[in-house]
Structure 1
Amino acid sequence: MKILGKILKSTALVMLLIFAASCSDDDNENLVIIEDDDNIVEAAQKTSSLSSLVAALSKADESTNNDLITALSSEGPFTVLAPTNEAFTDLLARLDGFDSLDDFNNEQLQDLLATILTYHVVSGTAVSSSELTAGQSINTLQGENLTVSLTDGVTFTDAAGEIATVTTADVETENGVVHIIDKVLIPQAALDALSNVLLVSITDLAVSVPSLSILVDALVAADGDLPTVLTNDGPFTVFAPTNDAFEAFLMANDFNSLDDIPTEILTQVLLNHVVAGTNLSTDLSSGYVSTLSTAGANDANLSMFINTEDGVTLNGNSTVTAADNKAINGVVHIVDAVIGLPNIVDHAIANPNLTSLVGALTADNNTTFTTLLTDSETDFTVFAPLNTAFESFTNPSDNDLNSILANHVISGAAANAESLTNTYFNTTAMNADGDNLSIYVNIDDGVTLNGTSTVVAADIIATNGIIHAVNTVIDLPTVVTFATADPNFSSLVGALTAEGQPDFVSVLSTPNGTDPAPFTVFAPTNGAFANLAEVPSGDALTAVLNHHVIVGANIMSGDLSNGLISPATLEGDTLTFTIDGDNNVTITDGSGNSEIGIIAVDVQANNGVIHAIDTVMIPDTTN
């Protein structure tokens, strides 16, 4: 490729054709009127059908090597073959991956565009159509020759074998003559450069942009293989921070240079700017994508939140300033800030759908949750209610909001959706005794929590855990909450709500601290009910159900001991506990039935605790 700077120093300064445009003969040759003192550039600027040519000249001149507009505005004389707008549309179709002249977005591509444009200019002479002869070889400003054919009008054939036909000849200007043609001509030099310049790798593209030099240095400093990775097939989408972005990042984190950043951290930060696939700006939409960084909890790929409401912002703090810089193996979007490794709080703040949650967490300058959820030593699973969830939440039991929020957080585990099963976890919320409340996860139909809240966006990965967005605020559970949420207790719920039974639901929903709460419930599973020869009814059923509930006490498994006799159940009889050498706990009921097994312990509600048992207990019927 000839550098235009050298061309300008030589005698002839020429560029693409520009002159007064005209319509077809069928349109009565609606020629643009050119004044006597208009030069080639001015003529092109006045011709609507040459607007793409004018734009191409401007785009080529964005390279510091080129000054085509000035050259074609000089004394000349020049002969210019001026491609129409349709010719440039055809050119873009020929160049795979290019949708507009804006895709010539780095110096290499702009110099290549200049090479193509100067192939349309003859310097030092103004050649009219009557002076052209068949087979004539014309030396262009680009350096390669064009051959004239007069077989079917006046045509020129480029190095790729494409034929350009003169559609309007002899448009005279103050510094030369313009012939309008219907095809952009491509010289051999441009064809040779296609694989090396037009289709550069992401790494080469970054190297070619001066404002990304620190990014290039960072790629080498972090992991010597990263530049090579970004030259592979990919495809990749890279959000590339500018030099100013890196300098701000270094200052904000008290680093004097890239050398001060631990290699592993720098590597993960850089990978956090890379997404799989070619995602043009038109492909991006608000939502989460996975980056190539494995700095997430359990070495998972970190999530990135893309917000397209006003431009494109990433994780709430980095904005795309120059989009769609295409490469052979993907696309680069230049951004104005380094995208740090997000923790759970960072993700919550970045997502406009979680502003109500963030407001609740930080109300009245509360730092409890922000301090907790930025802890890098502990993994968390957070069920994050959307703004719409808060809008519909009325807090019917008037529970403490901080306790409600804590009931959405699991500490000590980062559970992704794939790992979830029908099971109980402990949240960071506590009852009056300081026992952590339970939360029931059911995956039978999506992921639901305590039977009331559904996960609508799973697996938002942070450095210290995972967020699952939910559609309902999860209120503090009562023992009824778990009985109705857990399908293993459906037979028990059926018995509690059977016709003629007392209003067990209201009683067992009594708030903690209000008589007769708290409760200790020994809850028979469906299998326990199935083992009965006959499910009792009426008063007999009432007595059986009352025999499974102890009021006024929250008896955890740790409170049980061998030979312990419980307080009286609601029915009046007591229970006796036996613990064997393997710490297995069995119960003897009021009628003397022993070996009743506790198969799940400490399902902790706010107003009591549930222990699942494998046998329906029968009270002493003789008293």
Structure 2
Amino acid sequence: MKHLKQTLQALLFVVIAVGFTSCSDDDDNGNIIEPQPQSIAEFVAENPNYSSLAAALERTNLTATLDGQGSFTVFAPDNDAFDAYLNGTALADVPVADLTNLLLNHVLGAVKTSADLTSGYESTLATYSDTEANINMYVNVNAGVVTVNGASTVVSADNVFSNGVVHAVDAVIDIPSVATFATADPTFDSLEAALTADDSFTYAATLSDMDGTFTVFAPTNAAFAALLEDLGATGLGDLDAATVAAALNLHVIVGANVRAAGLETGTVETLGGDIEIDAENATITDANGRVINIVVTDVQAGNGVVHAIDAVILPELPEVYQSIAGFVAGNEDYSLLLAALEYAELDATLAGEGTFTVFAPNDAAFTTFLDGAALTDFTQEQVAQILLNHVLGEVKMEDDLSTGYETTLATFGDTDANINMYLNFEGSTTMINGGSSGTGANITGTDFTFNNGVVHTVNAVIELPTVVTFATADPTFSSLVAALTREPAFDYVTTLSTANGTSPAPFTVFAPTNAAFTSLVAELEGINALADIPTATLEAALNLHVIAEANVRAGDLMTGTVTTLGGDVDVDASAATITDANGRISNIIVTDVQASNGVIHAIDKVILPEL
């Protein structure tokens, strides 16, 4: 087949000299070239410019193949191309088996005109060693010039004969090595650069050795670009040569031509050490647990096979500790958050080991919050509590979060009771404590992971919540909010927003749910809606739900009579119930929603004054 390819190439050049001009003219005019009434072999034999190709075909007994029935595409080198390739060696001195495969490396088993050729791999009739695996060629049609394996150029195309088509080429197409494809295929430009990145590297010579056998997992340009981005490098020159070499070694199996069908799941030894292959899923896992996909298989060369992969296989790398504090310090858009952390002496906490979730406000958010004030206008403890109100004590990725309450590291007063935050995922925007339109924030970015936790970005500083914050943020209490604000004279919102340390704060609020208010309307005779309840009755009822001057958490509730703003109620701490003046029993169904100025316990029935 090699002989045939050479014959075809010689034939093509003869055609250029004596008859290809008219064919090319027809092709340039867009006409379909009619097949010549002769076979490819006959054409070669009749053209002295292809005598070397003809002689090679005869010596390898391939003349009959190209003279018979078939559908061939031949890239045909002329005598000058053969002379340059042989470089003084007599054709008779070339082993017949080698010459045969060389010729077959110029032949495709199907008719491919120039219009059919695209940039990519074609299978020739040459075979690898003593197998039936066909050797590939890389065809590049970019820039209007057709080149084969980066070394041979088509100089006259689409010369059609009775059993196929001939494209004249200006050089003999040698049996490719795995290095040939790395240099010929622009998909592997970055790999080629890596193989030659240091003067000490011998990869190009090694992988060009036709006496060797290699299986190469070849990263694409995109794979190298992703690696450089991950490492924060602008180019291969930024990487240590030893690291590059260690990585490249992991891409080569020596002594085996392992095609896709021969890949087996398990540990595979490469030049650089072991990698794990999952043959079923076509993946490779490196020492760092990175999973690489095999995206193209079985690009067969004369000394091995190439499989393209979508990431660079890396040796085991020392872990680089990246903390949340390090992220903040390295991001200029969070300079005010960094300043606040340093002022509150919390930077070391978020730089150290731990499992944190941080909702991080950027500089714009802090500027809005400060509203012209300086951080030093706040006490260190105030800033610390505000910052801790943005931190959870465990890692919560976006998928781990849902609508409901989370516990922050901020604390109530001088106690160990952690303050909550309310997240709402129900709308198009994820809101914390009612969102940035109030004293909360909206989540703008999620799942920035670091060694000691995860960061979700927010568009506002999350202020310390009051009991009113949770009533307004949690839609479970929308009826309660409607009741608290029904009358212009009601000052519940103002009162219940009083900061801790100022009378009548702190508060303990027994908060009826929406369902509780719905039941109340159904229970009261002649009442069809909240608006129908007499103002005096509603005000008296609301007062019964608030204990002033006390932050009574579930563990501190005691059985007995408790005085509220509206009078006494009876609490059964063991049963978690409240009995009002009418003997009606309310169940405490959620406890210890901690705010900065008090605590909320949700109840399933509205407490009423004596009716």
Q: TM-score range by the shorter chain?
A: 0.5 to 0.7
Structure 1 counterpart of 2:506: 518
Shift of 1:332: 6.4
Q: Which has the larger radius of gyration?
A: 2
Q: Which residue of 1 aligns with 2:463?
A: 475
Counterparts of residues 34-45 of structure 1 (less than 5 Å) = none
Q: Which amino acid aligns with 1:451?
A: G
* Structure-2 change in CA distance of 1:401 and 1:233 (3 Å): same
Q: Aligned equivalents of 1:274 and 1:405: distance in 2?
A: 37
Please state if 1:608 is matched with 2:594. Answer: no
Q: Distance in 1 between matches of 2:518 and 2:338?
A: 47
Q: Note the 1:3-402 alignment, pairs <5 A.
A: 139-140=83-84, 162-164=153-155, 188-189=173-174, 192-193=177-178, 194-195=180-181, 198=184, 208-209=195-196, 236=223, 237-239=226-228, 242-243=239-240, 271=288, 328-330=308-310, 340-363=320-343, 366-367=344-345, 369-376=346-353, 378-394=354-370, 400-402=382-384
Partner of 1:295: none
CA distance in 1, matches of 2:470, 2:411: 16
Select the residue among 544, 569, 576 that pairs with 2:570: 576
- CA deviation after TM superposition for structure 1 residue 232, in Å: 8.3
Matched residue, 2:450 = 462
Q: Is the 8 A contact 2:576 2:587 kept in 1?
A: yes
**Aligned counterparts of 2:370 and 2:311: Cα–Cα separation in 1:** 47
Q: CA deviation at 1:451?
A: 0.7
Q: Is residue 202–residue 332 contact of structure 1 (8 Å, CA) maintained in 2? A: no
For 1:483, give the aligned amino acid: A
Q: Distance in 1 between matches of 2:323 and 2:219?
A: 30
> Which AA in structure 1 matches 2:502?
T
Secondary structure in 2 aligned to 1:373? helix
Paired residues, number: 377
Q: How much has 1:344 moved relative to structure 2?
A: 1.9
Q: Do 2:182 and 2:191's aligned partners in 1 also have CA atoms closer than 8 Å?
A: no
Post-superposition Cα deviations, 1:484-540, rounded to whole Å, max 9, x if no partner, equal 000000000001110344121111111111111111111000000010133423111
| CA 1:570–1:268: 2 relative to 1, 3 Å | farther
Alignment match, 2:494: 506
Measure, in 2, the Cα distance between the counterparts of 1:607 and 1:138: 93
**AA of the residue aligned to 1:372:** T
Q: Distance in 1 between matches of 2:82 and 2:572?
A: 106
- Any idea what the Cα deviations from partners look like across 1:136-167, whole Å, max 9, x if unmatched? 5574489599xxxxxxxxxx9976774338xx
CA distance in 1, matches of 2:433, 2:331: 25
For structure 2, list consecutive stretches of 5 or more residues without a partner in the other structure. 1-76, 92-144, 157-167, 204-214, 232-237, 245-274, 276-283, 296-306, 436-440
Helix, strand or coil at the partner of 1:488: helix
Check whether the contact 2:389–2:464 (CA below 8 A) recurs between aligned residues: yes
Q: Is the 8 A contact 1:422 1:441 kept in 2?
A: yes
Query: Does the residue aligned with 2:568 lie in a helix, a strand or coil?
Result: coil
Pair 1:588-2:579 in alignment: yes
**What is the CA deviation profile of residues 418-449 of structure 1, one whole-angstrom value per residue up to 9, with x for unaligned ones?**
12111111111112132211111111023211
C-alpha change, 1:485 and 1:190, in structure 2 (3 Å) is farther
* Residues 1:231 and 1:586: Cα distance change in structure 2 (over 3 Å): farther
| C-alpha separation in 2, matches of 1:392 and 1:201 | 50
Aligned residues of 1:207 and 1:213 also touching (Cα < 8 A)? no
Deviation for aligned residue 1:329: 2.4
2:425 aligned with 1:448? no
Whether the 8 Å contact between 1:523 and 1:611 is mirrored in structure 2 is yes
Distance of 1:483 and 1:409 partners within structure 2: 21
Question: Structure 2: how far apart are the matches of 1:607 and 1:235?
Answer: 55
**1-structure distance, mates of 2:192, 2:287:** 16
**Do the aligned residues in 2 keep the contact of 1:597 with 1:615 (CA within 8 Å)?**
yes
Distance 2:476 2:146 in 1: 80
Task: Determine the structure 2 residue equivalent to 1:426.
Answer: 407
Using the TM superposition, give the Cα deviation of residue 351 of structure 1 relative to its aligned residue in structure 2, in angstroms: 3.1
- 1:187 is displaced (CA, Å) by 5.3
Which residue type is aligned with residue 394 of structure 1? L
Q: 1:215-258 deviations in whole A, cap 9, x for unaligned? A: x9xxxxxxxxxxx99668997432367237979xxxxxxxxxxx
User: CA–CA distance in 1 between the matches of 2:590 and 2:495?
Assistant: 23
Q: Is 1:558 matched with 2:545?
A: no
AA aligned opposite 1:559: D
RMSD value over aligned CA atoms?
4.9
- Equivalent AA in structure 1 for residue 419 of structure 2: L
Letter in 1 for 2:328: A
The structure-2 alpha-carbon separation of the partners of 1:417 and 1:136, relative to structure 1 and needing over 3 Å to count, comes to closer
Q: Which amino acid aligns with 2:600?
A: I
Deviation at 1:398, TM superposition (A): 6.7
CA distance 1:393–1:273, change in 2 (3 Å): farther
**Residue number in structure 1 paired with 2:47:** none
Q: Which runs of 5+ in 1 are unaligned?
A: 1-119, 121-133, 146-155, 166-182, 217-227, 248-262, 279-326
The Cα shift of 1:565 comes to 2.5
In 2: Cα distance, 1:611 partner to 1:433 partner: 21
Question: For residues 426 and 408 of structure 1, do their structure 2 counterparts lie closer, same or farther at Cα, with a shift above 3 Å needed?
Answer: same
SS in 1 for 2:561: coil
Give the counterpart letter for 1:163 in structure 2: V
Q: 1:187 to 1:554 in 2, by over 3 A?
A: farther
1:618 lines up with 2:608 in the alignment: yes
Write the distance in 2 (CA, Å) between the matches of 1:229 and 1:617. Answer: 76
Q: Distance in 1 between matches of 2:555 and 2:216?
A: 55
Aligned to 2:94: none
Q: Secondary structure at the match of 1:575?
A: strand
Deviations 1:326-369 (Å, cap 9, x if unpaired)? x94246699xx988242222232333332221222113xx53x2
CA deviation profile, 1:531-564 (whole Å, cap 9, x unmatched): 0133423111111111101111111111013x23
